Amino acid sequence: MKHPLLALLAAALCLGASAAPRAAAPVWSIGQADGRPDGFALAPDGFRDFLARDFGYEDRFYLVGRSDPAADFPYVLPGPADTWGGTWPTSGWRTHCANILFRLDRAADGCTLEVDLADYAKGFLPLVKVSVNGQAMKFRLDDPADPAPRRKPGQSEPVVDTLSITGHLDCATPRRLTVPVAPGVLRAGGNCVTITVLEGAWILFDRVALTGPRGVRCLAPDALFVRDVAAADYELGGAQPLLVDVEHVAGQPRLSVELDGREIFSRTVERGRYCFEAPMPAVAKPRTSRYRILCDGREVASGRFFAIRDYEYPPADYVDTRIGTAHSRWMIAPGPWMPFSMVKMSPDNQNAGWQAGYEPSFENIGCFSHVHEWTLSGLGLMAANGDLKVRVGDEQRPDEGYRSRIDKRTERAGIGCYAADLTDYGIRAEITATTRCALSRFTFPADRGRGRILLEFHPQAEYDFRLRGVEARLGGDR
């Protein structure tokens, strides 16, 4: 070889080029990264019309490729401290979410979600939760100009700290929230991003964007949007349902489901969201099948799944006792309650006072108390390990006391059992009840030291009470 040094250099450059990570490319974007909320709905100063325009509700969504940012994506998202977002002493804490639906041409790894904020509230600093298909990250925003702790907000705060949300951005603090999407999270077909302010006050949007490897494409939506397709883990009358989660987008589309080339379900879809149970023949032994989802004869989703024999699903298993618990009263809570029973056990996560009890936006548990009835409350129970703490702590500051954060993805609230993972302790909590007593099971980790059961004789209830005398008696060692 006449020029071995040049050949070696060329080989090294080729190797380096092949090893270098592929540059990220935009998959979709809502808004422009210019530090301003221009182009979004209600901008620059229409925050007081947020509720009147029906923004923030769980069933409201922005569909990439169809929705218009100027009409369908609000420039600001209120937090529970914002009374203009619905919070008030008689209505309770109000949280809101911005849902973004999009359809990918393939499963995509190596993607990043970027939420660019033009500004955010400084009076009550926001705690922002961003979820991508259930993968969640939380961002506690700070104030670089004033790091002093803020007081806890009440439910009737005056409407102040509004300079940026009325179009005056001279003192704004831009911030980018970056969510690296884990491998396997983004799938071919329907995907969902949800942005929520769990604590504090508003955030002001500049841009929301997904970036990923070159070649990943966001497909144009059809008259139906397929959120997810999965085989149910139960059977109904000798059939195993294929769960088809769809959103109506436009018109009166015809949804068809094919299994291994044969149609098993067909329905005209009207306005709203549906989770259809397409009946598949129950299998005697495990098998792999292929499905196709069609909208007016056009394929909008397809894939494979593994079917196994499963148990018969009674109607009671459809119940989720968390429904209706948001900003509700003490006597409305998730739990395995028998009709007219002497015990109504439920998780509590709020401070004492009006509407105390269970609020789903507080992602922690203070204790499990035994009685939830009008003006009545009862003994609280909590499992813990590590350092001994004897006070429950504040609903928004779980590290203050023995309360524990929970994983909302593994929380279960069926008609006969409530269960949650107490993530601060690594403990799995499960409660159930009969007509006259409650039963609790706590599964402790082996590597967290000695565990303990805490008895709370004065739980945080809606109506306060006095303890004139307390007696505890050990009934056995099991």
At 12 the pLDDT is 42
Nearest to 30 by CA among 43, 14, 19: 43
Nearest to 92 by CA among 354, 332, 331, 364: 354
Asked whether the predicted pLDDT for residue 10 surpasses 80, the reply is: no
At 6 the pLDDT is 46
Asked whether the predicted pLDDT for residue 161 surpasses 50, the reply is: yes
244 and 204 in one domain? no
Asked whether the predicted pLDDT for residue 13 surpasses 50, the reply is: no
User: What's the CA gap between 376 and 69, in Å, rounded?
Assistant: 48
197 and 297 in one domain? no
CB under 8 A, 24+ apart: contacts of 256-264:
256/293, 256/294, 256/295, 256/297, 257/291, 257/292, 257/293, 257/294, 258/291, 258/292, 258/293, 258/294, 259/289, 259/290, 259/291, 260/289, 260/290, 261/290
Report whether 290 contacts 260 (CB < 8 A).
Answer: yes
At 478 the pLDDT is 64
CATH number of the domain residue 105 falls in: 2.60.120.260
Nearest to 226 by CA among 81, 50, 63: 63
Average pLDDT, the chain: 91
Sequence-ordered list of residues with C-beta below 8 angstroms from that of 322, at least 6 positions apart, any chain: 334, 360, 411, 413
User: Of residues 376 and 29, which shows the higher confidence score?
Assistant: 29
At 305 the pLDDT is 86
435 and 367 in one domain? yes
CATH number of the domain residue 394 falls in: 2.70.98.10
Backbone angles phi, psi at 63, to 5 degrees: -105, 115
At 308 the pLDDT is 78
Nearest to 305 by CA among 233, 255, 410: 233
Q: Alpha helix locations (H) across 23-159? A: 69-72
445 and 361 in one domain? yes
pTM: 0.88
| Single residue among 264, 293, 313 that ends a domain in this structure | 313
List, for residues 397-423, the tens digit of each pLDDT value. 999 999 999 999 999 999 989 999 999
User: What's the CA gap between 284 and 281, in Å, rounded?
Assistant: 10
List, for residues 83-108, the tens digit of each pLDDT value. 999 999 988 899 999 999 999 999 99
128 and 53 in one domain? yes
User: What's the CA gap between 116 and 174, in Å, rounded?
Assistant: 7
Report whether 332 contacts 357 (CB < 8 A).
Answer: yes
208 and 81 in one domain? yes
297 and 241 in one domain? yes
Is 218 a domain residue? no
Number of structural domains found in the chain: 3
Is 86 a domain residue? yes
CA torsion through residues 416, 422, 425, 428, sign: positive
Q: Which of 129-143, 154-168, 209-223, 296-310 has the lowest mean pLDDT?
A: 296-310
187 and 39 in one domain? yes
Is 348 a domain residue? yes
CA torsion through residues 395, 396, 401, 403, sign: positive
User: Of residues 286 and 208, which shows the higher confidence score?
Assistant: 208
Q: Which of 135-139, 247-251, 303-307 has the lowest mean pLDDT?
A: 303-307
Q: How are beta strands 97-104 and 189-199 bridged, if at all?
A: antiparallel
Is 279 a domain residue? yes
421 and 357 in one domain? yes
At 23 the pLDDT is 63
Sequence-ordered list of residues with C-beta below 8 angstroms from that of 100, at least 6 positions apart, any chain: 30, 61, 62, 64, 192, 193, 194, 195, 208
For 179-207, what is the mean pLDDT?
Answer: 97
Backbone angles phi, psi at 283, to 5 degrees: -100, 145
Share of the chain above pLDDT 70, in %: 95
Backbone angles phi, psi at 300, to 5 degrees: -120, -10
At 3 the pLDDT is 52
Asked whether the predicted pLDDT for residue 165 surpasses 60, the reply is: yes
For 72-79, what is the mean pLDDT?
Answer: 98
At 22 the pLDDT is 56
List, for residues 301-324, the tens digit of each pLDDT value. 999 988 777 777 788 888 999 999
Give residue 15's pLDDT band: very low, low, confident or very high (50, 70, 90): very low
User: What's the CA gap between 112 and 232, in Å, rounded?
Assistant: 30
| Single residue among 191, 213, 235 that ends a domain in this structure | 213
Burial class, 36, CB count within 10 angstroms (exposed 0-12 / middle 13-18 / buried 19+): buried
User: What's the CA gap between 313 and 233, in Å, rounded?
Assistant: 9
N- to C-terminal Cα distance for the chain? 83
User: What's the CA gap between 21 and 280, in Å, rounded?
Assistant: 43
Is 471 a domain residue? no
Range of the domain at 271: 224-313
240 and 93 in one domain? no
Residues in the chain: 478
243 and 194 in one domain? no
Is 7 a domain residue? no
Collapsed DSSP state (helix, strand, coil) of residue 12: helix
422 and 331 in one domain? yes
